[in-house]
Chains A and B, each alone.
Chain A
Amino acid sequence: MTPAIEFALVAALAYAALLFALAWWVDRRSRQDGGLPWLRTALVYTLSISIYCTSWTFYGAVGSAARGGLEFATIYLGPTLMFVGWWLLLRKLVRIGRLHHITSIADLISSRFGKSEALGALVTVIAVAAATPYIALQLKAVTTSYQVITGASLESVDFRAGFWVAVGMAAFTILFGTRSLDVNERHHGVVAAIALEALVKLCALVAVGVFVVFALFDGPGDLFAHAPPGFLHAEEVFGPRWITLIFLSAAAVICLPRQFQVVVVENENERHLATASWLFPAYLFLMSVFTLPIAIAGLTLMPAGADPDMFVLTLPLVAEKEALALLAFLGGFSSATSMIIVASIALSTMVSNHIVAPLALRLSRNRTRTSGDVRRLLLTTRRIAIATLILLGFLYFRVSAQSGALAAIGLIAFVGVAQVLPSLIGGLFWPQANARGAVWGLTAGFVIWMYALGLPSLEDGGPLGADILAEGPFGLAVLRPQALFGLDGLDPLVHATFWSLTINTVLFVIGSLTREPRPLEWVQARQFVDVFRGGAAIGPDSGRPRFHRTATSEELYILAQRILGAAPAHELFDTFARRQGLAQGLPLPTQELVEDLERRLAGSVGAASARAMMAQVAGGEEVSIDELVSIADETARIMRYSQALERKSTELETTARQLREANEQLREIDRQKDDFLGQVSHEIRTPMTAIRSFSEILRSSDDLESAQARRFVAIIHDESLRLTRLLDVILDMRVVEKGEIPINLEPLDPDAVLDHALQTCEGLRGTAPVTVTQGARAGTARVAADPDRLRQVFINLLSNAVRHTDKDAILIRVESRIEAGAYEAVISDNGPGVPEADRERVFSLFSATWTRAGEKGAGLGLAISRGIMRRMGGDLMLDVGAPREEGARFRVTLALTADDPPP
């Protein structure tokens, strides 16, 4: 018996006592003014993350290296990649965790998918299933290492060491890990102890490593020269298992409940994450750099059959370096205990918040509520959960210690917690991802993990039995646990990882795509996915849509008291009131207050329970369609923005051009309107002038001859009639404009109407003699038309021809014919014709050409004429083919009617 043997127990007890004392002292100090600043540094944050290195890696990595060469490194390479890539995933996780007071990975998943209670419970179950054997593994490591250092035979397992370690850790965790219900309030005592343990295990491993390389061997060159042939397994190690292990360890470093606890929940400052992004990989580097040397030394120096998992301890012992062996023992002890402490805190939080709290809420619905009752219930639950979890771990250890099955537990747990990964990644980056997808994926992944990996790892397949393991259930070979769907010949770990995560992901995607996200899912999705785009901006000015919930301040205060306890609730509401500018009393129950309070409570009981409790007093969240529209997802908005930018220049250009054109048209119409009004004014003022003038003459002159007076009165009468006609025309225009001109169709011979119009126009006086040439005539055509309107049209065209001709001799040619089932009359003149640009304009109502300046009588405009012709089923056109020099040529068409002309 070496001195170390007696000393080991004392050292372990003293070390444990040191941890208790440190935690107690730190806890006390941190509650005093200022606390302990060094606890809030990036270094301590990084050291607490190092609980990733459990006794499984402290001892087991060397064992793994001894058996599989380089493969051990994968367990460290994955986390290294995850941390150097912090900007992609961890940063987002930490930001979300801080903003939403996330308490655990179960809470994160539950909160993201609409604060679902079911998801919280599901993730908790997976985590507990994966972690309990993991705790057992730690207890086994402590027990074995104690047996090794005390020189006890390893033939039988001495459970006493494991038991007392379990009891001690449970006590420590309950004492220092459940002081506060709010998970975001760090347990400083625990943090200090973990940091110390992290340093101890690093120092221990480095010390053993340096001793091995430079004391037992003559430097690395000498050491590797002694390596057994093929030791590194370099030729075959870089296969599917290599990739799978790196992937799994990368996933585990965020999905393991204890890792999520230290990385996300306990993060106080994002800068710490930036530091940890290289400092934690550096820690891992140091932890693993001596793994190969220790393994080589063990394989070279230790007798055959020595347990490679204990080389870290046995090498110093064999070399009779008791102090170093003791340090190694304490390093292993630290690795095991720190893992147990943090894992049990994280798991107890999940159990209390996601399993006990929802149940208690349902059961206590009608009970009286007292101040702090929820707080007491949950703290008690956590304490019981911690004790239970560690006890479960011990029992598991006790049951399976002899089977050697524990060795594989570390990686099996990794695969288990990795099932959360699809929901986690999807939830962080895919807004459409919803609770259905998460439930489907997690459930399937969990089941396949248990079936293909968890149960087969037990002795004889555990409850499955060796038969099923070998031949599949009911002899179905397709369903053999380790060769699912015929995928045979793979490493069981790779096989289980592949199927569980593939089916998990596929179902997650299918589930998410087959249902629209519910309103609350939408809101949470947006806040999570767009956390860096202001999606999670929380505060009165965030412009975020709010749920409309109503509660009195008293109800909210009572709720806060139940969860936080009387004094903290009082303090919190005082803060709220001050923020609202109130000097005393309770704050106003605004939406901000309700939301802020719910987030605070979520930090204690988890988002789902906080929501459920808030719903009891304030009602559930109602989201209106408007609000949903306003939460239109940020990504879409950004995309719209960039597209809009691209379009912007062309769009502006087009708009400007359209505006210019519209302006031009408006100005033109305005000008035409002015012209038109000028014309109307002129047409009205002219007869008015005569009427006024002659009536003034009649009124003021007593000496008029009666003949002269009668003549003047006759002029007045004539001019009044003219005025009336003029007003009729203007009204006609209105009527035509509205399509209301009265048209009385009757069968007639259009040529007869044309002749009549020609007769009427014989009296037209032009500035030059008018000659009307009669061309060929249709003879007997039969159309349906209004004779008066048709005549008006012909007269209008004839008088236009007269008025618009500036030649010395006005030549008007009139002809008609029957063409393609229609009657067609053409009236042409030898005037200046119509300029190309005016061809359509002459037909518009406001066209200045509808009447010529100074011409007598308003007449009907071409617009009215065309309107009339179209109403009669015909048309009036300006002949386009006619050369301008030959003057204007108007064409009147009318469809022929079937019936014969009357005899």
Chain B
Amino acid sequence: MSPDDEGCVTSDVEAPEGEAPYVESDDGPPLAPAPRRWRDLAMLLPAFGTLLWMPPVVGLTASGGAIWGVPAIVVYLFGVWALLIALAALVAVRLGRGRG
């Protein structure tokens, strides 16, 4: 036995099967894993929307004035809505990129 035999130590740690967001598909080539920050944004988006649309945040503009004659609360509700749609579109494009 020589000191070099330490090299024979084997590790039983398996490599993890990493999450592959888009692998199983009959009709498209496999996707490269989505960039981490876009996946994080995708997960945060509903929480973000919930926060903005739930009391107490949503009530902040309830008694506010109007913008071009439209009550602030209406502008706020639909503005958040439009923002969410835009962000979701961005996320969808990023996460769906390279597919097909």
* Residues of A bordering B, CB below 8 Å: 70, 73, 77, 80-88, 91, 95, 98-99, 219-225, 232, 234-235, 238-239, 242-243, 246, 268-271, 274-275, 277-279, 281-282, 285, 289, 292, 532-534, 536-537, 637-638, 641, 644-645, 648, 652, 655-656, 659-660, 663, 666
By the criterion of a CB under 8 Å from any partner CB, how many residues of chain B are at the interface? 59
Q: Are A281 and B84 in contact (CB under 8 A)?
A: yes
Q: Are B70 and A221 in contact (CB under 8 A)?
A: yes
The number of residue pairs between A and B whose CB atoms lie closer than 8 Å in the complex comes to 156
From B96, which residue of chain A is reached at the shortest CB distance?
A274
The 3 closest A-B pairs by CB, nearest first: A221-B69, A85-B46, A87-B42
Q: Are A238 and B55 in contact (CB under 8 A)?
A: yes
Most buried by B among A86, A232, A238, A638: A238
Q: Are B24 and A95 in contact (CB under 8 A)?
A: yes
Task: Name the B residues within 8 Å of A88 (CB-CB).
Answer: 42-43, 46
**Contacts A220-B70, A281-B88 known; A289 to B78 CB distance under 8 Å?**
yes
Q: Are A269 and B13 in contact (CB under 8 A)?
A: no
Q: Are A278 and B88 in contact (CB under 8 A)?
A: yes
Task: Name the B residues within 8 Å of A268 (CB-CB).
Answer: 27
* Residues of B bordering A, CB below 8 Å: 1-3, 5-6, 9, 11, 13-17, 19-22, 24-25, 27-28, 39, 42-43, 45-47, 49-50, 53-56, 58-59, 62-63, 66, 68-71, 73-74, 77-78, 81-82, 84-89, 91-92, 95-96, 99-100
**Contacts A81-B53, A656-B6 known; A532 to B20 CB distance under 8 Å?**
yes
Q: Are A663 and B39 in contact (CB under 8 A)?
A: no
- Shortest Cβ gap from A42 to chain B (Å): 9
Task: Name the B residues within 8 Å of A235 (CB-CB).
Answer: 62-63
Query: Which of A70, A533, A666 contacts B77 (CB under 8 A)?
Result: A70
Task: Name the B residues within 8 Å of A77 (CB-CB).
Answer: 49, 53, 77, 81
Task: Name the A residues within 8 Å of B27 (CB-CB).
Answer: 268-269
**Complex alpha-carbon distance, A342 and B64, angstroms:** 43
Task: Name the A residues within 8 Å of B20 (CB-CB).
Answer: 532
Task: Name the B residues within 8 Å of A282 (CB-CB).
Answer: 85
- Shortest Cβ gap from A252 to chain B (Å): 16
Q: Are A641 and B46 in contact (CB under 8 A)?
A: no
Q: List 24 A-B contacts (CB under 8 A).
A: A84-B49, A84-B85, A85-B47, A86-B42, A87-B45, A87-B91, A220-B70, A222-B69, A224-B70, A232-B73, A234-B62, A234-B63, A234-B73, A238-B62, A246-B54, A268-B27, A271-B100, A278-B88, A278-B91, A278-B92, A285-B82, A533-B17, A645-B13, A656-B9
Query: Which of B3, B50, B82 contacts A81 (CB under 8 A)?
Result: B50
Query: Which of A95, A239, A275, A292 contacts B92 (CB under 8 A)?
Result: A275
**Complex alpha-carbon distance, A8 and B70, angstroms:** 36
**Complex alpha-carbon distance, A36 and B47, angstroms:** 38
Most buried by A among B17, B43, B56: B17
Task: Name the B residues within 8 Å of A82 (CB-CB).
Answer: 46
From B17, which residue of chain A is reached at the shortest CB distance?
A534
Task: Name the B residues within 8 Å of A285 (CB-CB).
Answer: 78, 81-82, 85
Q: Are B84 and A224 in contact (CB under 8 A)?
A: no
Q: Are B45 and A533 in contact (CB under 8 A)?
A: no
Task: Name the A residues within 8 Å of B70 (CB-CB).
Answer: 220-221, 224
**Complex alpha-carbon distance, A645 and B15, angstroms:** 10
Task: Name the A residues within 8 Å of B59 (CB-CB).
Answer: 238
**Complex alpha-carbon distance, A350 and B43, angstroms:** 32
Q: Are A532 and B53 in contact (CB under 8 A)?
A: no
Task: Name the A residues within 8 Å of B3 (CB-CB).
Answer: 660, 663
Q: Are A232 and B25 in contact (CB under 8 A)?
A: no
